């Protein structure tokens, strides 16, 4: 799978061998070995060691259908732990890194430079390692999302999250009583979606913190998909099936997509009529996108 077809991104603590093993054997499309929030400061060195051992034991980066892609969430770029994280990252066996507390394109470019240096220092394939930015964890980072207006080297995805933003704003609850996000958090979510589209990156929806309510998770995934999100982060392997079900286009959408492609295939002008409405190239792109995500 490519980053654009990865639906579920499962976080696992980098210092927990049992959860790592379960994640590697699970159904998630991408596994994020967490060296940041899930690991206490005294255990970060242990997390690096255990993660690298697990990745080495799992072999090279898996092909499609042979296990989840492997990513590592490092500590914030400006933290003392980040230098040790980059020094410990395996040169092979991972697709790239997830960067927390990222703020705008400048942090993306800084990260790209450090990944390039890592590849040069370890004889890695130039340009192979990629990054996902967690881009809404501070008020400043939310405001900086509007600066993402063109593709950024190595940027595979933009992820948003409401928990750190809640702490930055001093807000105890980021959702209303009915489960919907409060306005400022909806703004962060919307800006992430737009920034991802502007850069050609995958838009990754935030984690759903109630690991027992799979029905509500699936409903949130369906709503996120109608907005344009194609992926969602997870904090428990039991959430993965609900994410896949919620992000899959329904039968009506898939039937529409096939009819669009059939109608446009029969015209030389690139324009056709379907159900009394004009369709053209944007509808073709959308149809291909729906069918691609259904096949993921």
Average confidence (pLDDT) over 162-187: 93
Q: Which of 67-76, 250-259, 284-293 has the highest mean pLDDT?
A: 67-76
- CATH homologous superfamily of 3-248 equals Phosphoenolpyruvate-binding domains (3.20.20.60)
For residue 114, the model assigns a pLDDT of: 95
Give pLDDT tens digits for 83-112: 999 999 987 899 999 999 999 999 999 999
Selected residue with higher pLDDT from 262 and 81? 81
Structure tokens at 279: 């369709």
For residue 196, the model assigns a pLDDT of: 98
Structure tokens at 281: 């190239």
Average confidence (pLDDT) over 239-261: 90
Give pLDDT tens digits for 130-142: 999 999 999 999 9
Give pLDDT tens digits for 175-220: 999 999 999 999 999 999 999 999 999 999 999 999 999 999 999 9
pLDDT band at 1 (very low <50, low <70, confident <90, very high): low
For residue 263, the model assigns a pLDDT of: 86
pLDDT at 64 > cutoff 60: no
Average confidence (pLDDT) over 152-166: 95
Q: Could you give the C-alpha distances from 88 to 27, 154, 156, 243, in angstroms and in order?
A: 27, 20, 21, 31
Q: How does 204-220 read in b/e, with b if 16+ C-beta sit within 10 Å?
A: bbbbbeeeeebeebbeb
* Phi then psi dihedrals of residue 155, to 5 deg: -80, 115
pLDDT band at 62 (very low <50, low <70, confident <90, very high): low
pLDDT band at 125 (very low <50, low <70, confident <90, very high): confident
Q: What is the pTM of this model?
A: 0.89
pLDDT at 58 > cutoff 70: yes
Look at residues 184, 180, 183, 182 and name the one whose alpha carbon lies nearest to residue 219.
Answer: 180
For residue 2, the model assigns a pLDDT of: 60
pLDDT band at 63 (very low <50, low <70, confident <90, very high): low
For residue 292, the model assigns a pLDDT of: 81
pLDDT band at 42 (very low <50, low <70, confident <90, very high): very high
For residue 144, the model assigns a pLDDT of: 98
CB under 8 A, 24+ apart: contacts of 146-149: 146/191, 146/195, 147/104, 147/105, 148/104, 148/105, 148/195, 148/196, 148/198, 148/199, 149/198, 149/199
With the CA atoms of 269, 260, 224 and 151 taken in that order, what torsion angle do they form, in degrees rounded to the nearest 10?
Answer: -30
pLDDT at 60 > cutoff 80: no
Domain definitions of the chain by residue range: 3-248, 253-295
Q: Round to whole Å and give the CA distance between 242 and 27.
A: 11
**Mean pLDDT computed over every residue of the chain:** 92
List CB contacts of 241: < 8 A, sequence separation 6 or more. 27, 214
Look at residues 284, 279, 104 and name the one whose alpha carbon lies nearest to residue 195.
Answer: 104
**Lowest mean per-residue pLDDT among 151-160, 220-229, 282-291:** 282-291
């Amino acid at each position: 799978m490519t980053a654009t077809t990865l639906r579920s991104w499962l976080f696992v603590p980098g210092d927990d061998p049992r959860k790592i093993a379960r994640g590697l054997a699970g159904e998630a499309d991408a596994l994020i070995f967490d060296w940041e929030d899930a690991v206490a400061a005294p255990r970060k060195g242990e997390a690096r060691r255990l993660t690298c051992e697990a990745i080495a034991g799992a072999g090279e980066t898996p092909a499609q259908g042979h296990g989840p892609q492997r990513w590592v969430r490092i500590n914030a770029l400006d933290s003392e732990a980040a230098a040790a994280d980059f020094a410990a990252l395996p040169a092979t066996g991972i697709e790239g890194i997830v960067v927390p507390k990222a703020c705008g394109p400048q942090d993306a470019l800084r990260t790209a430079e450090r990944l390039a240096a890592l590849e040069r220092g370890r004889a890695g394939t130039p340009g192979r390692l990629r990054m996902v930015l967690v881009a809404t964890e501070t008020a400043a980072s939310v405001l900086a999302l509007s600066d993402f207006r063109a593709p950024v080297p190595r940027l595979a995805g933009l992820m948003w999250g409401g928990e750190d933003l809640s702490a930055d704003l001093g807000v105890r609850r980021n959702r209303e009583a009915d489960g919907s996000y409060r306005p400022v958090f909806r703004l962060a979510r919307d800006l992430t979606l737009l920034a991802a589209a502007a850069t050609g990156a995958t838009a990754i929806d935030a984690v759903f913190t109630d690991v027992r309510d799979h029905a509500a998770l699936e409903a949130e995934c369906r709503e996120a998909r109608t907005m344009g999100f194609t992926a969602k982060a997870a904090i428990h392997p039991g959430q993965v099936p609900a994410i896949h079900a919620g992000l899959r286009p329904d039968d009506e959408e898939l039937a529409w997509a096939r009819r669009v492609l059939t109608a446009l295939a029969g015209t030389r002008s690139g324009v056709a009529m379907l159900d009394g409405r004009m369709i053209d190239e944007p509808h073709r792109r959308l149809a291909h996108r729906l069918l691609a995500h259904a096949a993921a």
